[in-house]
Structure 1
């Protein structure tokens, strides 16, 4: 349970019902904050902390942020506030869709991350995934992945089988779409590398480019426009969502 939230509510005399009324959410939502340690949307976090008269960090300690390197924090804030995320990956699955076992193998296979830091980075990556399952306005997430990603035996057959099954499960969510660029496609913009586009609440766009050492947040309008052009290219080469789910279903069998 979120003991810090519960203590703040007891100290101010608030119940689940009264806090829900003040914040403007359903009582079931607040009950999840208390009993399941769900993290509210940043907007609701701010209102709730004000109502309870406590700093946000005292109630919802941002542990995932403290685990992240300094250079990643600007993108983490953009990711949290985004109303839409568009991710293209040609080598591995997007971090927001990785299972624990798959993510551990990806992180452990890097020579950049020290073996003793793998679990810390893993915990941070898994914590970030909560934005896709939060109750209040999760971002619309569209992922385009190259078919080669699904055929690379990261962690072995069992890990890949569970990972592809997990992809099929998230594909059922109305705000998540996965598209696969088939191996029959020749040269296309995705061969130049992975990227993520984030659309913020005020329709402001930002991009994120990754490399072996650290990522780069892109906000220059011309650079963002170039990434958007690349997105249109990779999305245009990909199968439809339903065709992609059919391919994923076939891939489960290949890893069985």
Structure 2
């Protein structure tokens, strides 16, 4: 899914930069490992924008990453209308709280885990799956900026241990990533032990974001997408449920020890 005005801007910039470098489509194609006809198809919009192509184009043309930055904007702008307010809230948040009963939270997923999860949807074409993966990994940069939000995640122990033989290496890498993420002062991962019985969080995942004005908004995921929650009474319910699920979880240190035990049990 490309945002057409932004995609056309990328194609126009690509043509302008190539011409300014005095390169024909054939000459430019050799430098970026594409054929001249493929370069033409990209510039004319007959071929979808390709991350590898644009990354190579940035290198060859010395753009400082301009084309890839524009592509990220196109991918964000191409998100469904219901998701854009949450993306904006996530980028501007000072605090993020996430509870996930069945998956690793998206902001903490490794590339391999994220790709495996996205590809469980067999209705997605390869290109769309890779586009969704790129957007998810780009979202994670919010935790790596100069002034990142405080991110607290609560996950179920059963999520960490969900791995058959073929999936074990991927999960070992993923849980190790959670341990490493927890070493950062602005990231905390808390685990609800498997021996905890029924609790309110099991009714579904939710995320909360606190903006610079001190206000909170929520986000609920479902099989068809998600819903942004901004009514005060609904946000208050989610904040209350956050306190409930957080109270069921282990401390930060205990959670790290449990995650280490999970990884060691597979080795």
The answer to whether the Cα contact below 8 Å between 1:90 and 1:190 also exists between their aligned partners in 2 is yes
Aligned to 2:232: 221
The answer to whether the Cα contact below 8 Å between 1:67 and 1:124 also exists between their aligned partners in 2 is no
Matched, 1:107 2:121: no
Q: CA deviation at 1:99?
A: 0.2
Q: CA deviation at 1:140?
A: 0.2
Segments of structure 2 that go 5 or more residues without pairing to the other structure are 1-12, 14-61
Q: Distance in 2 between matches of 1:204 and 1:227?
A: 13
Aligned to 1:209: 220
Segments of structure 1 that go 5 or more residues without pairing to the other structure are 5-33, 38-56
The answer to whether the Cα contact below 8 Å between 1:96 and 1:129 also exists between their aligned partners in 2 is yes
Query: What is the RMSD of the two structures over their aligned residues, measured on CA atoms?
Result: 2.3
Q: How does 1:1-256 map to 2 (within 5 A)?
A: 60-61=69-70, 62-111=73-122, 113-135=124-146, 137-153=147-163, 156-256=167-267
Give TM-score scaled by structure 1 length. 0.74
Give TM-score scaled by structure 2 length. 0.71
Q: The residue matched to 1:250 in structure 2 has which SS?
A: helix
Structure label with greater radius of gyration: 2
Aligned to 1:17: none
Q: How many residues align?
A: 204
Q: The residue matched to 1:206 in structure 2 has which SS?
A: strand
Q: The residue matched to 2:148 in structure 1 has which SS?
A: coil
Q: CA deviation at 1:180?
A: 0.2
Q: CA deviation at 1:35?
A: 11
Runs of 4+ in 1 over 4 A off after TM superposition: 34-37, 57-60
Q: CA deviation at 1:58?
A: 9.4
